[in-house]
Amino acid sequence: MKRLMIILTVLISVLAINASEISQAKLSTAKAMYIRGVKSDNIGLRCNAIFRIAEMKSRFPEMSTKGVEKILQKAARKDENSLVRAYAGLTLVYLKDTKLNQKVKVIPREVSIDFYQRLQQAIYANTYAMNLD
């Protein structure tokens, strides 16, 4: 069952993210599969699914995050793995802040750790600039 879920998640991500124009149905299907990935027992799958949600928001800013935020909040608070908690928390900030979403984009074929490093730097820079005012 776990293998099937991993294969389906990878397949959906390849089909959905690589399309230049994507339908709402495909976007909803991909989002549902990533939500299932976040709920998985596999730590790598959880981290990757959270990163792919951020990637979808980066490529499709108009995407509704309804349903995703609750799952990410739960992962950010209660997941036993610290990396999953960190990814979920940073992704929540990314989903909610439109300025941050415009400033930090996921680069094609980017490794998740690089994206989250750039995201964290942008958050700190924004916080520092706000404190100077």
Task: Report whether 38 contacts 49 (CB < 8 A).
Answer: yes
pLDDT tens across 33-78, in order?
999 999 999 999 999 999 999 999 999 998 888 889 999 999 999 9
Task: Report whether 42 contacts 80 (CB < 8 A).
Answer: no
Rounded-to-integer distance, Cα 93 and Cα 107, Å: 18
The residue ranges of every structural domain in the chain are 2-132
User: What was the pLDDT predicted at 16?
Assistant: 55
pLDDT tens across 8-17, in order?
666 666 655 5
Task: Report whether 46 contacts 54 (CB < 8 A).
Answer: no
Q: Supply the pTM of this predicted model.
A: 0.79
pLDDT tens across 99-123, in order?
999 999 999 888 999 999 999 999 9
Position 60: which residue type? F
Q: State the residue for tokens 């089909």.
A: 15
